[in-house]
Amino acid sequence: MAPIDVADEVRDALAAGKPVVALESTIVAHGLPWPENLDIGRALEEEVRRGGAVPATIAVVAGRICVGIDGATLERMARASGAERWRKAGVADLGVLCARGENGATTVSATTFAAARAGIRVFATGGIGGVHRGDSGDVSSDLTTLAREPVAVVSAGCKAILDLPRTLEMLETLAVPVLGVRTNEFPAFYTYTSGLPLEHRVDSAADAAAVCHAHWTLGGAGILVANPIPRAHALDAAQISRAVEDALADAARNGIRGKALTPHLLAFVARATQKRSLAANRVLALSNAAFGAELATALCTQTPTG
């Protein structure tokens, strides 16, 4: 039997054809310090509920992939520090954590994988991983997982520290459609636009749901639903660009790479922007949770094509 436990509320909602939105747990374990991390974890779930859907925060708990965790587990994860901090778990780490009975906070790839196994079609996050800048060959498994799993991932594009043009090219190579929500440009996480045009635009959750249904009917897998940060909360593109370049240079000087790179870069950018990037991250994550609930609802109410 697969080591996957689906919470009763989530299982009941799926069985009844009600909307469910998956949420990652890395933002709680690794994205923010205590107690802001617990606050954002709770706020994301509440935003999904406000939109009429059931939230399913995903994590690995004592070797079990839990699709939906209770409040006590969420708080335990948020409080953990030092050697007790929950492992950052990508899809490739799940088997190891399950075999060893360990705790893990799921990234986009692991959350997408688990959501698909549970039958959840919508996952809301801040930003996905992608192709890193430079010639390191560092490409996130978020992209290849999207190419395999039939889940619509709502995000504000990919993280601003990445190579956005190459990430878009990779998504095209992997046959992952990118839908701009009320925009013709790929959003750039902290900033509303990137200057990179998108081929496909949707102007409502119903429009996005129709595309998702058609894509899955044709045998397609993941879809990236690119929902820009609300304009009023977007940061200055030039300031973010400078902060990212400085962060990359600092990481290179200190030999930081692999899984440690993204948290280091995001923390550096937070310091460089006097924590304005953290505030923007919160806003965009909540915006994506809200649209995720709309999309999940539309998927449940529309009749699939075909």
In a domain? residue 253: yes
Residue range 95-119: average pLDDT? 97
**Domain for residue 47, yes or no?**
yes
Degrees (nearest 5) of the Cα angle 76, 59, 190?
95
The predicted-structure confidence for 16-40, as pLDDT tens digits, reads as follows 999 999 999 999 998 888 999 999 9
pLDDT of 224 > 70? The answer is yes
Query: What distance in Å separates the CA atoms of residue 50 and residue 230, rounded to the nearest whole number?
Result: 18
In a domain, 85, yes or no: yes
User: In the 3-class helix/strand/coil scheme, how is the chain assigned residue by residue?
Assistant: CCCEEECHHHHHHHHCCCCEEEECCHHHHHHCCCCHHHHHHHHHHHHHHHCCCEEEEEEEECCEEEECCCHHHHHHHHHCCHHHCCEEECHHHHHHHHHHCCCEEECHHHHHHHHHHHCCCEEECCCECCEECCCCCCECHHHHHHCCCCCEEEECEECCCECHHHHHHHHHHCCCCEEEECCCECCECCECCCCCECCEEECCHHHHHHHHHHHHHCCCCCEEEECCCCHHHCCCHHHHHHHHHHHHHHHHHCCCCHHHHHHHHHHHHHHHCCCHHHHHHHHHHHHHHHHHHHHHHHHHHCCCCC
> Does 306 map to a domain?
no
114 within some domain: yes
Residues spanned by the domain of 28? 4-301
Number of domains present in the structure of the chain:
1
Structure tokens at 97: 């954590």
Percentage of the chain exceeding pLDDT 90: 77
Calpha distance 42→36 (Å, rounded): 10
For residue 62, being part of any structural domain is answered with: yes
Mean pLDDT score across all residues of the chain: 93
CA atoms of 27 and 45, how far apart (whole Å): 13
CATH, residue 143: 3.40.1790.10
Does any domain span residue 262? yes
pLDDT at residue 263 tops 80: no
> What is the pLDDT at residue 306?
53
Q: Which amino acid is at 126?
A: G
**In the structure, what pLDDT confidence band is assigned to residue 88 with cuts at 50, 70 and 90?**
very high
Does residue 234 lie within any of the structural domains?
A: yes
Q: Annotated active-site positions, please?
A: 24, 159
Query: Residues 19, 13: contact at Cβ < 8 Å?
Result: yes
Adjacent-strand bridge partners of 122:
152
At 304, the pLDDT band (50, 70, 90 cuts) reads low
